[in-house]
Structures are given as C-alpha cells and as structure tokens.
C-alpha cells in the first residue's frame, strides 16, 4: 500500500500513457461496433501493421537518435503518416475482404465474428512469415532489414530521445509521456468533432442509429461503413506510433494482447461511444498499474478485469453507456 502511495504520480502517469494507447485502439472497436454491431476482432492486426509501417520508415531513413530537431520531427511525422496510411489501408482491405459480402447478405453476426477472427490470424501470420513471403519473390536478401527475424521483437529506433521535462512527486515526466497523453486527447477531440460536425460524421451517426432509415434518407451506407473502418484504422495507426515511442518494440503477435485490452477499454467506457473509448482506456491503464502496485504485477489483469466486471454489473452499458447513434445526435 505504501508502495502505491509513494509512487502514486509515477504509476498514474505511466498508467495514463498506456491508457492513451488503449483508448486510441479502442476507437476502432467502438466505431465499427456502433455502426455495424459487429466486433471487429481483426482490428488489433490493423494496429500491428501500422506499428510495422512506422518501424520500417525509421529503418529506411536510418535516423540516429540525437539528430537535429527538425529532422526528428520530420521523421516522426513521416512515420505517423506511414502508420496511418497502412493501418487505414489494412482496415479498408479487411472491410472489403472479410466483411462487405457478409454485411450485404445480412449474414448472422456470428458469421462475421468468425470471419473477423480468421482475418486476425491470417494477418498476424502473414507478418510473422514475412521473411518467407519475401523469399517467394526472391527479395529475401534485398529486404533483409525489414523482414529478418520475423518471429522476434522488432525494435523501433525512436529518433526522439526521451528526456525529463519536469518532476512531480518524485517522478520525472518525460517528453514522450506528455506527447502521448496530449496527442491522444487531441485526436479524441478531433474525432469527436468530426463525428459531430461533418457530413460524413452525421452519416456515421445516422447509420448507427437506424441504417435502413438512413439509407432512405439518401445516406450511402456502404460509403459510410468504409469511412468508419478507415477512421478506426487511422486512429490505430496513430496509436501504433505512440506505442512505439514509449515501448520501442513490436512483433507479429503484439496485437493480440493489446487488442484484448483495447476491446476491454471500449466495453468499459461503453461500446459504441467514442468518448467512452478514451475514458475506458485511461481507467484500464490506471487500474492495471495500481493493481500491479498493490498486489504484484502478476495480478494486473486480474485487477483490471475484476474492475470491468464490477462496473458492468452496475452499468451494463459501460461508463458512458450510450450508443454512437444516440450520442449527441
């Protein structure tokens, strides 16, 4: 207990950092669920592909840590762009290959769920076998820095050096901590505004509320579904870069655990609710850290999921509990 109190600030900040990543990934689950009532279990792989895109950009550019600030910012922006593009692209591909036909045929939700799980495995394994995929095209040696040790951790050479900015309660908050928490909140606000104010956002809300009525009102349902996947993918791409800046490593199956946590965050905040996703992410990140500090790291998931169960017992629809359609219509 005294350990928790003595290190409260540090545990809080690192918990929020982790929670911010959970929250951004959770958006993908929440958006798709809000529109289609479908849990896109392959979303974790969308995130994973984005993380590799960011890593490959830094490998290709080969920037050493400690470069001049404009270079650092440029590389990070490029990596962000690459991660968002790849994640968005994979999300669109998923929609096209794994869901569109099922949605059009109005297949049972369980069928789409299985399709999602299948797509998740396929995408993860493709990344895990990328050295051999490259080998088929005779590119194994050319692409070596990108595909070697495909089953192992791949390091992200962060061009930005972690530096302490200010000290609170015995913990020096670093520039990376600040960047992650602030960008997650900014992106959440931007997304919230996008859904509230733009034409596409209104379409998303309309389809979420009643897709048939929306179609009758002239909303192109397929276009809206695509846009939803794309936005979720872009958020996952941003989350991938932020994650790498803090944790520095990705691997072919890194998406699985993160996906489970992000999905939990989405449910915790109220699945289908955009603001709930970030709130759920923060709470989950904090709960994991406090739980680890109280009883030991092996209990972190026990504490986090116990919290989820307790919250759902009292608020079965999650903390903010509204659906995407009803939220601020």
Partner 1 sequence: MRFSVKTGAPLLAMALALTACGTSGGDDEEASGGGGEAGTCEDVSLGYFGALTGSAANLGINIRNGVELAVDQFNEENADCQVGLEEYDSQGSPDQATGLATQAIGDETVIGIVGPAFSGESETAGPIFAEEGLPTITASATNPTLAENGWDTFQRILGNDASQGPAAASYISDVLQSQSVFVVDDASAYGKGLADIVNEELGDVVVGDDTIQTGQTDFSATVTAIRSSNAEAVFFGGYYAEAGLLVQQMRAGGVEATFVVADGVKDPGFIEAAGDAAEGTIITCPCLPPEESQEFFDAYQEAYDTAPATYSAEAYDAANVFLEGILEGNTDRESLLEWVNDYEGEQTTKTVKFDETGEVENISVWAYKVVNGEIVADQEIETD
Q: How far is the CB of 243 from partner 1 (least distance, A)?
A: 8
Nearest alpha-carbon partner for 214 in 37, 40, 35:
35
Q: Whole-angstrom Cα distance, residue 130 to residue 150?
A: 6
Q: Which of 63, 84, 241, 293 binds partner 1 (CB under 8 A)?
A: 293
∠ CA 181-124-56, nearest 5°, is 60
Half-sphere exposure (Cβ direction) of 145: Cα atoms closer than 13 Å: 11
Q: Which of 298, 313, 314, 316 binds partner 1 (CB under 8 A)?
A: 298
**CB of 4 within 8 A of CB of 169?**
no
Q: How far is the CB of 259 from partner 1 (least distance, A)?
A: 12
Contact call for residue 257 and partner 1 (CB under 8 A): yes
Contact call for residue 51 and partner 1 (CB under 8 A): no
Q: How far is the CB of 17 from partner 1 (least distance, A)?
A: 8
Report CA 286 to chain centroid distance, whole Å. 17
CB under 8 A: which stretch of 24-32, 41-49, 152-160, 267-275 binds partner 1?
152-160
Shorter beta-carbon distance to partner 1: residue 122 or 329: 122
Contact call for residue 74 and partner 1 (CB under 8 A): no
**171 sits in which H/E element:** strand 171-174
Contact call for residue 10 and partner 1 (CB under 8 A): yes
**CB of 116 within 8 A of CB of 40?**
yes
233: left (phi over 0), alpha (psi -120 to 50) or beta: alpha
Contact call for residue 18 and partner 1 (CB under 8 A): yes
Q: How far is the CB of 154 from partner 1 (least distance, A)?
A: 7
Q: How far is the CB of 182 from partner 1 (least distance, A)?
A: 18
**209 sits in which H/E element:** helix 199-209
Nearest alpha-carbon partner for 236 in 83, 104, 81:
83
Q: Which of 96, 155, 223, 328 binds partner 1 (CB under 8 A)?
A: 155
Q: How far is the CB of 255 from partner 1 (least distance, A)?
A: 11
Contact call for residue 205 and partner 1 (CB under 8 A): no
Annotate each residue in 110-149 with x if it binds partner 1 (CB under 8 A) or - if it does not, as one string. ------------------x--------------------x
CB under 8 A: which stretch of 184-192, 205-213, 256-264, 319-327 binds partner 1?
256-264
How many residues bind partner 1, per CB under 8 A?
A: 38
One-character DSSP codes across 281-316 = HHHHHHHHHHHHHHH-GGGHHHHHHHHHHHHHHH-T
Shorter beta-carbon distance to partner 1: residue 130 or 275: 130
Contact call for residue 6 and partner 1 (CB under 8 A): yes
Report the interhelical angle of 221-247 vs 199-209 (nearest 10°).
Answer: 110
Q: Whole-angstrom Cα distance, residue 58 to residue 154?
A: 12
**CB of 203 within 8 A of CB of 38?**
no
Q: Which of 40, 228, 292, 323 binds partner 1 (CB under 8 A)?
A: 292
Radius of gyration of the chain (CA): 20
Residues that bind partner 1 (CB under 8 A): 3, 6-7, 10-11, 14-15, 17-18, 128, 149, 151-155, 157, 162, 172, 174, 247-249, 251, 253-254, 256-258, 288-289, 292-293, 296-298, 300-301
């Amino acid at each position: 207990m005294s350990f928790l109190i003595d290190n409260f600030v540090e545990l809080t900040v690192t918990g929020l950092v982790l929670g911010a990543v959970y929250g951004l990934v959770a958006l993908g689950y929440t958006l798709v669920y809000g529109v289609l009532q479908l849990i896109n279990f392959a979303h974790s792989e969308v995130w994973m592909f984005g993380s590799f895109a960011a890593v490959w950009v830094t490998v290709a550019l080969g920037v050493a840590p400690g470069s001049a600030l404009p270079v650092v910012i440029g590389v990070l922006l490029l990596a962000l762009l690459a991660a968002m593009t790849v994640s968005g692209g994979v999300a669109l591909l998923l929609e096209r290959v794994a869901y569109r036909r099922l949605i059009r045929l109005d297949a049972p939700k369980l069928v789409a769920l299985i399709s999602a799980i299948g797509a998740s495995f396929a995408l993860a394994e493709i990344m895990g076998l990328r050295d051999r995929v490259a080998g088929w095209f005779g590119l194994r040696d050319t692409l070596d820095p990108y595909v070697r040790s495909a089953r192992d951790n791949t390091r992200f050479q962060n061009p930005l050096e972690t530096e302490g900015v200010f000290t609170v309660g015995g913990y020096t908050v670093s520039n990376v901590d600040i960047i992650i928490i602030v960008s997650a909140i900014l992106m959440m606000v931007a997304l919230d505004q996008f859904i509230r104010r733009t034409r596409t956002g209104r379409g998303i809300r309309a389809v979420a509320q009643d897709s048939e009525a929306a179609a009758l009102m002239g909303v192109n349902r397929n276009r809206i579904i695509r846009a939803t996947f794309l936005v979720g993918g872009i958020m996952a791409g941003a989350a991938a870069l932020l994650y790498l800046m803090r944790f520095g490593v990705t691997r072919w199956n890194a998406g699985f655990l993160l996906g489970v946590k992000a999905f939990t965050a989405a449910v915790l905040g109220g699945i289908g609710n955009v603001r709930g996703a970030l709130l759920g992410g923060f709470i989950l990140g904090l709960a994991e850290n406090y739980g680890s500090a109280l009883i030991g790291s092996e209990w972190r998931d026990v504490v986090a999921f116990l919290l989820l169960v307790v919250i759902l017992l009292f608020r079965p629809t999650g903390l903010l509990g509204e659906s995407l359609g009803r939220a601020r219509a």
